[in-house]
Structure 1
Amino acid sequence: MKYSFWIYVFYIFECVRSEERNYRIVVQKITTSNVDNDIFEKVDVELFQINNRSYLDGSVVFKQPGSDMMVNSVLDFWRPNKQHMRVFDVRFSLCSFFEESHKNKFFNNYSKAIKKFATKEFKCPFEANVTYGVKKLYFDERDFPTFVPLGKFRSKFEYYLNEDVWATFSAQGQIISWN
């Protein structure tokens, strides 16, 4: 009896998870700035659209090994009525980001996407002269709640080493209606 109950619960959750979302996450622009050439050999980021989905290819090569990196991450959201909401503004260790699971659903989805589309495992300490990258990274709407409000967003990731900013990545986009 208990066994059939859990099969039923699993079936319900699987149907909800696979339910089509009525929105699409569209990334329209990605920029890099403050790239420290003493730390990076190479930083490449390319955004492209295929079949109404945003994809990202990106790679970095460090000049020296690194493990004491910190990240400040901010996500701002504007509803269609121009109401602004700061979704989060957090600072964390880059190494712990890849090594731990996250209570924050957004960070959990982001970490999962990076790991899924990585060309090499993101693991600390990061090695020098090794390409760490992602190919065709995208966010699957099924990993997010069934309801997400429509609007525009801006995310910013500032990477620090010894309290000095060594790279900034910003993304702008919107949540659009999708049927």
Structure 2
Amino acid sequence: MFRSYYLFCALFVWISLAVGDSKKQIVFNSIECSLRNNVFSKSECQLYSRLALNVFVTIGDQKAADKMVAVCEVDLFNNGHKKVTRIKNLRLEFCQLKKHTETRSLQGIYYLALRRAAVNFPEKCPFQKNTTYSVNRLHIDWKEAPQYLPEANYTFRGKIYANNQLGLEVKLSGGFYEIANYSEYKKPLL
């Protein structure tokens, strides 16, 4: 009886200490969206918290989107280094979002986060006209982010194409930091 009690107490203390440890987390500082064509009739981008964001887009009334692709670029500014690391041509196929496998790569991390946050995305294309699609509370969990990467600031730029036309540009800035007070960063900004 005493042995199981002490094992339970030891497990509880270990979990409490592990939860309190700081972990490297992807943090968002700002987000900007701008329409570039009449493919989308409306867009809204906002930070939900420092760890999550929301994006709402409405497909225009002219034509359904048979193909939707994001072409992204990330600039990493490592702390203590002057050199910028640039990752170009990350392609995210929104029509294949539900089918894509969970690979252990930067692109796999994006797909996993998008799949969790995509609220009303179709199983396959087309994205219907006059319909608002949302990405709600998109976040990348610390368990998915490679903890061995150095802390860095980043700028993420994405161009979203629908029917081979540039419809939306998204610019996101933030960092990959070790944070000790997770609950403070998780609080809604609204």
> Is the shorter-chain TM-score for this pair beyond 0.5, marking a shared fold?
yes
Q: Which category describes the TM-score, using the shorter chain as reference length?
A: 0.7 to 0.9
8 Å CA contact 1:22, 1:178 repeated in 2: yes
Amino acid at match of 1:59: F
Structure 1 position 68, deviation (Å): 2.5
Match of 2:173 in 1: 172
From 47, 52, 55, the counterpart of 1:55: 52
Gaps of 5+ in 2: 1-17, 181-190
Taking the TM superposition and a 5 Å limit, the aligned residue runs for 1:28-39 are 28-36=29-37, 38-39=38-39
8 Å CA contact 2:39, 2:162 repeated in 1: no
Structure 1 position 118, deviation (Å): 2.3
- Superposition misfits of 4+ residues, deviation over 6 angstroms: none
Return 67-76 or 132-141, whichever deviates more. Answer: 67-76
Amino acid at match of 1:24: Q
Deviations 1:134-171 (A, max 9, x none): 22221111112232211111111112346542211111
8 Å CA contact 1:114, 1:137 repeated in 2: yes
User: Aligned partners of 1:34, 1:40: CA distance in 2, in Å?
Assistant: 7
Q: Does 1:72 align with 2:71?
A: yes
Q: Indicate how the Cα distance of structure 1 residues 70 and 113 shifts in structure 2: closer, same or farther if over 3 A, else same.
A: closer
User: Aligned partners of 2:90, 2:54: CA distance in 1, in Å?
Assistant: 25
Give the CA RMSD over aligned residues.
Answer: 2.5
Deviations 1:101-129 (A, max 9, x none): 26462222222222212221344111112
Amino acid at match of 2:106: F
Q: Indicate how the Cα distance of structure 1 residues 161 and 126 shifts in structure 2: closer, same or farther if over 3 A, else same.
A: closer
Q: How many residues align?
A: 159
Structure 1 position 65, deviation (Å): 0.8
Taking the TM superposition and a 5 Å limit, the aligned residue runs for 1:1-179 are 22-36=23-37, 38-49=38-49, 53-63=50-60, 64-80=63-79, 81-91=81-91, 93-101=93-101, 103=103, 105-123=105-123, 124-161=125-162, 163-179=164-180
Paired-residue identity, %: 21
Amino acid at match of 1:127: Q
Q: Which protein shows a greater Rg?
A: 2
TM-score by structure 2 length? 0.71
